Structure 1
Amino acid sequence: MSATSKTRRLVIVESPAKAKTIKGYLGPGYEVESSVGHIRDLPNGAAEVPAKYKGESWARLGVNVDHDFEPLYVVNSDKKQQVSKLKKLLAESDELYLATDEDREGEAIAWHLLEVLKPKVPVHRMVFHEITKDAIRQAVANPRQLNQKLVDAQETRRILDRLYGYEVSPVLWKKVMPRLSAGRVQSVATRLVVERERERIAFRSAEYWDLAGVFSPKLSASLGQGVPPSARAGDATDPHSFGAKLSAVDGRRIAQGRDFGPDGQLKSGSADVLHLNEENARALTAALADTAFTVRSVESKPYRRSPSAPFRTTTMQQEASRKLGLGAKATMQVAQRLYENGFITYMRTDSTTLSDTAVAAARSQVTQLYGRDYLPDRPRNYAGKVKNAQEAHEAIRPSGDSFRTPAETGLSGTEFRLYELIWMRTVASQMKDATGQSVTVKLGGTAADGRDAEFSASGRVITFHGFMKAYVEGSDDPSADLDNRDRPLPQLAEGDRLTAEEITADGHATKPPARYTEATLVKELEEREIGRPSTYASIIGTILDRGYVFKKGTALVPSFLSFAVVGLMEKHFGRYIDYDFTAKMEDDLDRIARGEAEAVPWLRRFYFGTDDVTAPAGERAVADHLAGLKELVTDLGAIDAREVSTFPLGEGIVLRVGRYGPYVERGERDTEEHRRADVPDELPPDELTVELAEELLAKPSGAYELGTDPDSGHEIVAKDGRYGPYVTEVLPEGTPKTGKNAVKPRTASLFRSMSLDTVTLADALKLLSLPRVVGTDPESGTEITAQNGRFGPYLKKGTDSRSLQSEEQLFTVTLEEALALYAQPKQRGRAAAKPPLKELGEDPASGKPVVVKDGRFGPYVTDGETNATLRRGDDPESITAERGFELLAEKRAKGPAKKAAKKAPAKKAPAKKAAAKKTAAKKTTAKTAAKKTAAKKTTATKTAAAKKATTKKTVSAKTDVPDDGA
């Protein structure tokens, strides 16, 4: 499509990548520019609050809570240049097209653009779900008006999240640790992870036993003749021998893991269940040694499985985690690129609906690739499962009215794999069901001791794979069989005699509930209807970045810090971290979006509280909560900071969460019995037992006096710091620690061969003597020193350095040896590569072998092209292949690091102009000084003004809180 030569049209989208793609479809006459996301928002800190509002009591919030919660919007400092550019382009244009995404966030960005740009030309709202030539041209030809309901809905959420985050977070700063944050959804997500860890801590394992047998039908002599041994043993399609599990003894069902509670005891109502221990199981095995078995029943049922619905945001995140090892954030980054480059439809959607065009494209590919036998007579339609699903979106699918196969896209790496996943799921959704037969066989016999033993086996044969030819959904349980796997049994009939080839006793232990992964946490949040599915990736990213959660493999492990935060929230803000209450808030926000409720009364009840318990049922989430948020954060005297950060372990030992990390403690401070030890950051909370705490307390910790330096007279101590053991000197009281005359104590890390248990004063003094002067180069007269650096021991001569082989050489290397090292040519480039620490196998995205290596900045995983540093909780020796693939996928999703653009050197003003500027500056300074003097006199007589000034200082000093983004 092209515009007439007289008409100039400006199209504004969110991202530069999208702008570039759309520009190629529109051609001349259209200027396509991006806003680069939001151009304005609530002020992010006191520095962004306009001067005329700085004295207002609500300035810190950026929301005038006393004036109908009116938001204060400011143009982001990093967007001012872009706004100027957009204004200039708009001044040269005859029409404006706002082409932001068609959801609440996109509609809000379009509204903010209107408010800031104030266009005097016709404005059109241009919407599309895919970036293809036809879709873009249709969007230009069929614009609509701005949807103010969507704007209001997004604004209400933004205000709510700001009130929540900016009011509750300071409570955490004061009572737990600085720079923490709270959020409407992030705090609830953290609570889910913490509660799962509490369950694991309280869990007690139970041991139970059962029997596993391998059985085969008895063959008569005539039947057995001429049958090859391989056939009698069974093959993949008609197996002869098969496995079965003991299911009952004397009519009592054998206890399995599901029969035990978290306390390790059988659940109530399990009186008829037989709990076998090892002794009983082995005795029964012996008694069944010569038992004859017969088939007691054969039950056959038809098997049918239907395809899953096309992807929506959360199901795509879950499946990408299972199959590609991608985290939620990385998945969305890759999907964003696929969308912006025209490969898939919009990726933030709750819908499972496919357009008629998409259905036709999918059915066409089914016929082309698999044949008409796999195509159902009618198109499949999928009902939405998400309550209050977002407006007007399709499911995530390949873009266009005919789908490109993955091989036709030209994509590679993670983008190829994710597109392939989306393509397969879409095509499979329009294929026939998989069908087959499932069979359950029960067999039994009488043991030598008279007990009746019954075994059972189940099998499945898929006779028509249907959609499974294209796609099979993954499972969150890595040990679970996928749906497309046959489990055949031999042809058996009731009364058939069987021979037990082998019967063994198997011991089992119940396992604690599995920790959440990103995929299962997304699923849990969606099932509880907490937050918006489109924000789950950012929520998980936030709790990881804030240190509330870290990863161990793919599992999400809560930190000890999160226990303190969640404990405080549960005790003092219980309603605001309640799962049902949070879900009801989501319902209320959706009612506002539909125009069924008003935003301001709802916000007023939430923030100021209410005595009105007769509000509409849909608004009860906050109506019957008498105390509003403001009241709860005003009086903090009831919150005992030490109490919320203390957790008893037993035997008089407590865990405390301090400002510098978690530690265990026993005994009162300032007593001889008092002991304290830091807890490793990467230790999962469920592994901190009393026994482990005893070990930590038994290790040397704190400051251990080694003696006095005879030269300086300073006390020398050894400590175990956050970065390892070290020695240091204790400076006398009164020694200046800051300013020009500051004196820093000498400090040195222990060598790898040393430990706090064995280090002596002599060792410490040697370490503190570094760097050591080795001698002087006779040719240059330059001093050569031996030093211990970040990357190991080395020699230094001026700016020239040489590595030493060991730390001990720091004290033994001679001048002759040093000169010999310098006489050798300096090695350029990298040293010889170290052998890998561990091999993880082939990366599913790149197809290349992945290994763990030890680098200058710590261990990392690599496939030869992409390197990803191991995170907290990742042990290089025990890291799993799935975790390694996930780290690489996340690194690829971020793309290459952006290099900072070099600034052009500032031009020097001519001498005359510079002199004139200086004179003007002096005059301005004099005027400013006079104004300051007058202001001081005025301030001295006005107490109220003084109080405002104090408030302004407080606002400036506070650490800003990132919003929840839910």
Structure 2
Amino acid sequence: MKDLIIVESPTKARTIIKYIGDNYKAIASMGHIKDLPEDSLGIDIEKGFAPKYVVISGKRKTIQEIKELSQKTKDLFLATDPDREGEAIAWHISSELKKKPYRLILHEITKEAIKDALSHPTEIDKNKVDAQQARRLLDRLVGYKISPILGQKVQKGLSAGRVQSVALRLIVERENEIEAHIPEEYWTITAKLKKDDEEFEAVLEKYLGKKLKIKTKNEADEIISKIDDSFIVERIESKEKKKQPPPPFITSKLQQEANQRLSFPAKKTMFIAQGLYEGIDVGKEGPIGLITYMRTDSVRVSDSAISEIRSYIKEVFGDKYLPPTKRVYKNKNIAQDAHEAIRPTFPLHLPSDIKKYLSNEQYKLYDLITRRFIASQMQDARILTTKVELKNKDYTFVASGKVILFDGFIKVYPVDEKEKILPTLKVSENVFLVELIPKQHFTQPPPRYTEGSLVKALEENGIGRPSTYATIISTLMDRKYIEKKEEKLYPTGLGRLVWELLLENFPKLFEVKFTAEMEDDLDKIEEGKEDWKDVLTLFYEPFSRMIDDAKKHMRNVKKEKEKETDIVCEKCGGKMIIKEGRYGKFLA
């Protein structure tokens, strides 16, 4: 009689069975099997926010198959993903079974990890389930209560979300800042100088020892007229600085770097990473889970993985690239330490060795993850910076130089450290002017968000969790609240209108700070420090009052846009009105 392992996806099932052989059978639930109903709130508020879960359409056959197989097996293991969503899936599956299942926690899908998990099975983490349930109920309450009001007052098909609307807020407020920005003119003066046959540049910074601001062309021209051809080196300051490698990836940093370096949207990054985690067929070896679990806030790495990668660094790059002791990175809080960072499960399975088995996008992301992990255990880069102050009458020009003395981790994970070589200079010596270059500039507004910089802003403000960022952005795009042009995120007219109405009617609910505090409450539920029902009760009482007020007082944009015409209605004899619907204007 075989033991049964239940996971979410067929790929993950195949990868697991490859490692543990004939004594086990694996089946995929294909994600969640239960959720709140689509056609009703699905929460009994009067009975302590009791959820009314229903089987998801198309999943009855899957549930029946799991039930039948579970009755024919000795032991039953739930090996869904090791996060809140995975725990909830395991909990819902267990509720359909007569036999009590074991819980397997797999942070990576490798032979060693699977065997270790089977040797140390655990139980479903009810605190984690409660945290997921609280989030789901909060999101349902906000969406189900506010969205119909928007549909009634603006147009059908609109939605609001507890976290998505705060993300919309950031994008709209950034656009408001950009529009409110008044460009201010300023000028810079650069001196192209010469020492023997070597040319270099210095920028005018001070007049009579004080920082100089040049506002107009006339001011720039006046300064240029006073400067002669001879510059004296007044001061030279050289400093050696060390640049430490970044830690291995957590989810948010992976999304940011993949967006910046590979131009991957957050949703694509997570989709590709999911495939790398669940398993890729690499020829004779069969399917291999190439990376650890990709939804994580932790920078912790197992000792065995560190040991293996340090041996690789020593062998390939030499002793000088290896720090004397392993690097240990610290998490922000203890709760995050349950997971590992995102890293290759086989550090010596180099991207170049398996490139032919990967799609171009899979290869790029796996290469990025591998390089980041290798770099995280490499030696610091050493960089020599030089600042030279040159005097011309009462004006001080500054030349800056940069030399990479030792590339360290940069050899594997390039960062923006471009060398700028200065000639050998001595204090009190003269250098000569080749030309003065005045240049007009204007102050710039803050930049629009990219997907990567929005993820960074959400993370820094404690809004949502890394596992939700990709969905937040794609939902805002699907709702036509934002659009992407040349990788920049712009709010649409509809998005700005929706946010304006939400701000007028729900100012507290969509505050950045309030949303971050709710995330902290969810973390406390997972840690067993808060009761999920208490959190929902404290949230719902003021929220229900906001809903009642919004129903009465929210602007009726639909009516504001209605226009009476001279066209007579054939049925009632009254004048017809131009109205706006989801698909444009129509007569009614």
The normalised TM-score by structure 1 is 0.56
Quickly say closer, same or farther: Cα 1:186–1:389, change in 2 above 3 A.
farther
| Mapped partners of 1:22, 1:246: distance in 2 | 64
Match of 1:65 among 21, 39, 45: 45
Task: State the partner residue of 2:401.
Answer: 459
Residues 879-899 of structure 1: CA deviation (Å, up to 9, x unaligned): xxxxxxxxxxxxxxxxxxxxx
Task: State the partner residue of 1:405.
Answer: 350
Match of 1:640 among 555, 567, 573: 555
Task: State the partner residue of 2:208.
Answer: 250
Q: Report the RMSD for the aligned CA atoms in angstroms.
A: 2.1
**Is residue 2:79 matched to residue 1:91?**
no
- Kept after mapping to 2: 8 A contact 1:285/1:504: no
* Letter aligned with residue 403 of structure 2: V
| Mapped partners of 2:124, 2:564: distance in 1 | 67
Identity %: 43
Shift of 1:395: 0.4
* Letter aligned with residue 122 of structure 2: R
**Is residue 2:286 matched to residue 1:286?**
no
* Letter aligned with residue 249 of structure 2: F
Task: State the partner residue of 1:77.
Answer: 57
| Mapped partners of 1:496, 1:176: distance in 2 | 72
**Is residue 2:537 matched to residue 1:604?**
yes
* Letter aligned with residue 412 of structure 2: A
Residues 294-338 of structure 1: CA deviation (Å, up to 9, x unaligned): 011111111210000000101011110111110000000000110
**Is residue 2:109 matched to residue 1:113?**
no
| Mapped partners of 1:13, 1:332: distance in 2 | 18
Task: State the partner residue of 2:180.
Answer: 202
Shift of 1:460: 1.0
**Is residue 2:266 matched to residue 1:328?**
yes
SS of the aligned residue for 2:409 comes to helix
Task: State the partner residue of 1:392.
Answer: 338
| Mapped partners of 2:59, 2:149: distance in 1 | 31
- Kept after mapping to 2: 8 A contact 1:350/1:389: no
Shift of 1:552: 0.6
- Kept after mapping to 1: 8 A contact 2:351/2:363: yes
**Is residue 2:7 matched to residue 1:13?**
yes
Residues 127-184 of structure 1: CA deviation (Å, up to 9, x unaligned): 1111112222222222112211111111111111111111111121122221111111
Task: State the partner residue of 1:745.
Answer: none
SS of the aligned residue for 2:123 comes to coil
Match of 1:630 among 517, 527, 544: 544
Count the aligned residue pairs: 560
Shift of 1:506: 0.6
Match of 1:360 among 295, 307, 311: 307
Runs of 4+ residues over 6 Å off in structure 1: none
| Mapped partners of 1:388, 1:325: distance in 2 | 33
Residues 201-246 of structure 1: CA deviation (Å, up to 9, x unaligned): 11111111120111122x5xxxxxxxxxxxx2xxxxxxx2111111
Task: State the partner residue of 1:348.
Answer: 295
Match of 2:392 among 416, 433, 445: 445
Task: State the partner residue of 2:20.
Answer: 26
| Mapped partners of 2:509, 2:240: distance in 1 | 49
Residues 663-692 of structure 1: CA deviation (Å, up to 9, x unaligned): xxxxxx779xxxxxxxxxxxxxxxxxxxxx
Task: State the partner residue of 2:365.
Answer: 418
Match of 1:277 among 197, 216, 240: 216
Residues 823-860 of structure 1: CA deviation (Å, up to 9, x unaligned): xxxxxxxxxxxxxxxxxxxxxxxxxxxxxxxxxxxxxx
Task: State the partner residue of 2:423.
Answer: 490
- Kept after mapping to 1: 8 A contact 2:233/2:430: yes
| Mapped partners of 2:427, 2:155: distance in 1 | 69
Shift of 1:388: 6.9
* Letter aligned with residue 556 of structure 2: A
Q: Larger relative CO (CA 8 A, sep 6+): 1 or 2?
A: 2
- Kept after mapping to 2: 8 A contact 1:375/1:431: yes
- Kept after mapping to 2: 8 A contact 1:103/1:390: no
Task: State the partner residue of 2:585.
Answer: none
Matches within 5 A, 1:181-200: 181-200=159-178
SS of the aligned residue for 2:95 comes to helix
Match of 2:521 among 588, 592, 599: 588
- Kept after mapping to 2: 8 A contact 1:576/1:582: yes
Shift of 1:411: 2.3
Match of 1:296 among 224, 234, 245: 234
| Mapped partners of 1:371, 1:412: distance in 2 | 32
* Letter aligned with residue 331 of structure 1: T
SS of the aligned residue for 1:77 comes to coil
Task: State the partner residue of 2:282.
Answer: none
SS of the aligned residue for 2:405 comes to strand
| Structure 1 runs not aligned, ≥5 long | 1-6, 46-59, 220-231, 233-239, 256-274, 447-451, 474-481, 609-627, 647-655, 660-668, 672-702, 704-729, 737-966
Quickly say closer, same or farther: Cα 1:85–1:519, change in 2 above 3 A.
same
Task: State the partner residue of 2:482.
Answer: 549
| Mapped partners of 1:78, 1:213: distance in 2 | 72
Shift of 1:391: 5.3
Matches within 5 A, 1:451-530: 452-473=394-415, 482-483=416-417, 485-530=418-463
| Structure 2 runs not aligned, ≥5 long | 280-288, 573-588
| Mapped partners of 1:631, 1:283: distance in 2 | 65
Quickly say closer, same or farther: Cα 1:670–1:39, change in 2 above 3 A.
closer
- Kept after mapping to 1: 8 A contact 2:243/2:383: no
| Mapped partners of 1:98, 1:204: distance in 2 | 59
* Letter aligned with residue 471 of structure 2: S
The normalised TM-score by structure 2 is 0.92
- Kept after mapping to 1: 8 A contact 2:381/2:410: yes
| Mapped partners of 2:48, 2:219: distance in 1 | 73
Shift of 1:192: 0.2
**Is residue 2:477 matched to residue 1:578?**
no
Higher helix share: 2
- Kept after mapping to 1: 8 A contact 2:128/2:525: no
Give the number of the structure whose alpha-carbon radius of gyration is greater.
1
Task: State the partner residue of 1:855.
Answer: none
Quickly say closer, same or farther: Cα 1:327–1:467, change in 2 above 3 A.
same
- Kept after mapping to 1: 8 A contact 2:331/2:337: no
* Letter aligned with residue 34 of structure 1: A
Residues 330-384 of structure 1: CA deviation (Å, up to 9, x unaligned): 0000001101111111000001111001101211221122111100100000111
SS of the aligned residue for 2:255 comes to helix
Match of 1:337 among 275, 278, 282: 275
Matches within 5 A, 1:547-946: 547-608=480-541, 628-635=542-549, 636-642=551-557, 734=570
Residues 49-71 of structure 1: CA deviation (Å, up to 9, x unaligned): xxxxxxxxxxx310110001111
**Is residue 2:84 matched to residue 1:104?**
yes
SS of the aligned residue for 1:320 comes to helix
Task: State the partner residue of 2:32.
Answer: 38
Shift of 1:594: 1.4
| Mapped partners of 2:146, 2:321: distance in 1 | 56
* Letter aligned with residue 191 of structure 1: R
| Mapped partners of 1:137, 1:596: distance in 2 | 32
**Is residue 2:466 matched to residue 1:533?**
yes
Quickly say closer, same or farther: Cα 1:535–1:388, change in 2 above 3 A.
farther
- Kept after mapping to 1: 8 A contact 2:6/2:28: yes
- Kept after mapping to 2: 8 A contact 1:328/1:537: yes
- Kept after mapping to 2: 8 A contact 1:103/1:391: no
- Kept after mapping to 2: 8 A contact 1:37/1:109: yes
Shift of 1:83: 0.9
Quickly say closer, same or farther: Cα 1:735–1:166, change in 2 above 3 A.
closer
